[in-house]
Amino acid sequence: MDTKISKKTACATPRFDCIDHCPDCNFQCNQKILVFAGTFEGHELAKYFDQRGWNRCADFCVATEYGTETFSDIKGLSIIEGRLNEAAMEELLKSGPYGLVVDATHPYAKAVTENLQKACQISHVEYVRLLRREGFFDYEGVNTVESAEEAVAYLLETEGKILLTTGSKELSKYRRLSDRIVARVLPSQDSLRLCFDAGIPAKNIICMQGPFTKEMNLATMEQYGCKWLVTKNTGKPGGFDDKVRLCEEGYRIIVIGRPQAETGLSLEEVKERVEAFYGE
């Protein structure tokens, strides 16, 4: 696993200048908050920090260059870019006076969450999980499976093209279905490479960032002649509701359930915890 860390920030001052006093903060910061950020919850937290003037009192960790780009609209934000294993997370926690870690990663990023929990426990740093609410669905034509492997086994017994909207990381598991797959992935070089590695033809690769409306999903299904859509239960922020509603138009949906039941806080509850941490 690549554990190289790249520090990117619009701040021209050294990394921990805001520990004693930061002119861009509304108060003195004795400890910083470390946020492991997904594209939605992490961005929402970043906007919140920006609104409160706390940009330099927190560091935001993202896995890829694309992740960094999603925060380009927020100036002065401290970004740490790179995929980290547990050991690298521990080293990062030791590198600065972090008093709170917020896990705002994707609900399906199981390995990242597990590693981060262990690193925080070993480092004696408070860990908070920001949970995304699951989407509710009660439609005929929706089948729930527990994994990508189970989705593949199910789809091998069917016919028709498949719109795959579960991301690029597990595309290799769908290789046996590559001639039927239309992959909708994030617009990054890594995503495109993984599509080609999985044998997906260029004509069946869609690089776009969601979430997408029901109308957009419907247009995509019609354009590519798909009968099936595979998704994860990413909740409203991930456009889940507008995917499963395609059942109303006669399409079939495969939902890959979340890897495990988690406990944690809502976005608003995490904001309250951050305010308490800063003594607000």
Structure confidence by residue, pLDDT tens digits, 207-260: 999 889 999 999 999 999 999 999 988 777 778 889 988 989 999 999 988 776
pLDDT of 26? 46
Domain membership flag for residue 184: yes
| Mean pLDDT, rounded, of the chain | 85
Residues 85 and 180 in one domain: no
What is the per-residue pLDDT for 3?
47
12 and 26 share a domain?
yes
Whether residues 90 and 103 share a domain: the answer is yes
The reply to whether 198 and 252 lie within a common domain is yes
pLDDT, position 28: 52
Q: Are the CB atoms for 45 and 70 separated by under 8 Å? A: no
Residue 6 has pLDDT above 90, yes or no: no
Question: Are 75 and 180 in the same domain?
Answer: no
Q: How many domains does the chain have?
A: 2
> What average pLDDT does the segment 165-193 reach?
94
Residue 17: give the domain boundaries: 6-133+261-277
Same domain, 40 and 177: no
- Summarised one tens digit per residue, pLDDT across range 126-135 is 999 998 776 5
Q: How confident is the model at residue 29 (pLDDT cuts 50, 70, 90)?
A: low
Do residues 157 and 114 both lie within one domain? no
Q: What average pLDDT does this structure show over 32-48?
A: 89
Please tell me whether residues 111 and 14 are part of one structural domain: yes
Residues 191 and 269 in one domain: no
Residue 263: which residues within 8 A CB-CB, separation 6 or more?
A: 129, 131
Q: 201 with 94, same domain? A: no
CATH number at 232 reads: 3.40.50.620
1 in a structural domain: no
